[in-house]
């Protein structure tokens, strides 16, 4: 896979998460006022729209990378892409949990308690577990439809992309307690 494609993919996926972190920190002061509401805040609405827009681009980039690496025949592609589409839809739902957890981390960062840190880490680990289970379930579906080698190729590529994204997100977040 070309380094440029990887960098582009990471930029497109990580950007909405990174945008969410400073935006959540900026809205921390406005969230304390009674007039501010998470559901009616225009900034929050804009962030959600921006995330959805970028996710569409990320899905396209991931699909292009996946397609170039998977090298599927037309018959195999007809079996693979619907499975991959289901996987991406489920992954996006899980990513909503991750974004919410990062926003909560940003909101709580300056006033972090042991209880809040524990809650955030448990949420992050639950996300990772659910994502791993989703990948395993999708592997089984691809294996049934296209065989073990193709399924293994899918997991290898997807895992590499997820690890790159995870590293980018983790490197952008401040370590808890280092600013207190």
Residue position matching structure tokens 């406005």 = 30
Ramachandran angles phi, psi of 27, nearest 5°: -85, 0
C-alpha distance from residue 104 to each of 5, 66, 101 (Å): 31, 32, 5
pLDDT tens track for 38-52:
455 665 665 566 556
Distance separating alpha carbons of residues 116 and 37, to the nearest angstrom: 22
- The predicted model gives 8-36 an average pLDDT of 39
Please say if the pLDDT value at position 166 is more than 90.
no
- What pLDDT does residue 129 have? 98
């Amino acid at each position: 896979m070309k380094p440029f494609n990887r960098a582009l993919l990471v930029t497109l996926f990580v950007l909405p998460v990174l945008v969410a972190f400073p935006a959540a920190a900026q809205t921390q002061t406005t969230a304390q006022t009674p007039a501010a509401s998470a559901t009616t805040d225009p900034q929050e609405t804009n962030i959600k729209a921006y995330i959805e827009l970028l996710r569409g681009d990320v899905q396209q980039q991931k699909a292009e990378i996946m397609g170039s690496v998977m090298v599927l025949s037309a018959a195999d592609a007809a079996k693979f892409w619907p499975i991959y589409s289901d996987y991406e839809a489920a992954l996006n739902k899980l990513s909503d949990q991750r974004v919410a957890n990062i926003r909560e981390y940003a909101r709580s960062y300056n006033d972090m308690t042991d209880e809040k840190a524990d809650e955030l880490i448990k949420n992050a680990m639950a996300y990772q577990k659910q994502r791993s289970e989703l990948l395993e379930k999708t592997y089984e579906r691809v294996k049934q439809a296209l065989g073990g080698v193709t399924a293994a190729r899918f997991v290898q590529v997807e895992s590499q992309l997820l690890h790159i994204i995870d590293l980018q997100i983790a490197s952008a977040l401040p370590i808890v307690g280092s600013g207190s």
